[in-house]
Amino acid sequence: ELKVEQNPLFLSMQEGKNYTIYCNYSTTSDRLYWYRQDPGKSLESLFVLLSNGAVKQEGRLMASLDTKARLSTLHITAAVHDLSATYFCAVDPTTGTASKLTFGTGTRLQVTL
């Protein structure tokens, strides 16, 4: 059974600081997704990583994928309050043509002034 673990589960950081969220998974996959969720809301797609060594950046967020280590990271640079949300990674282990995602536990990020 595929397991996806994120750490930390909760992260309180000051504005302007940098930090990394880690996503480890237990089975081979080269498809990994990062989502953001605000309280009571749905999931917003942040990044789609589809190959070993993939790196994508959007604003203050950068995601990478190492399929050999079964590890993805979401790096936050110079955090701002608007980044406060819960972040999920999701892995698609299927070899077929349609994605079936297994989500991590989520990392709740709180950015303080």
Partner 1 sequence: ETGVTQSPTHLIKTRGQQVTLRCSSQSGHNTVSWYQQALGQGPQFIFQYYREEENGRGNFPPRFSGLQFPNYSSELNVNALELDDSALYLCASSFTGRTSEQYFGPGTRLTVT
Chain residues that interact with partner 1, rule: CB under 8 A: 4, 31, 33, 35, 40-45, 48, 50, 88, 90, 94, 97-106
CA 95 distance to own-chain centroid: 21
How near is the Cβ of 113 to partner 1 at its closest, in Å?
25
- Phi and psi torsions of 27, nearest 5°: -135, 160
How near is the Cβ of 46 to partner 1 at its closest, in Å?
11
How near is the Cβ of 71 to partner 1 at its closest, in Å?
18
Nearest residue (CB) to partner 1, 31 versus 111: 31
Nearest residue (CB) to partner 1, 98 versus 113: 98
Nearest residue (CB) to partner 1, 77 versus 93: 93
How near is the Cβ of 73 to partner 1 at its closest, in Å?
18
- CA torsion through residues 108, 13, 73, 41, sign: positive
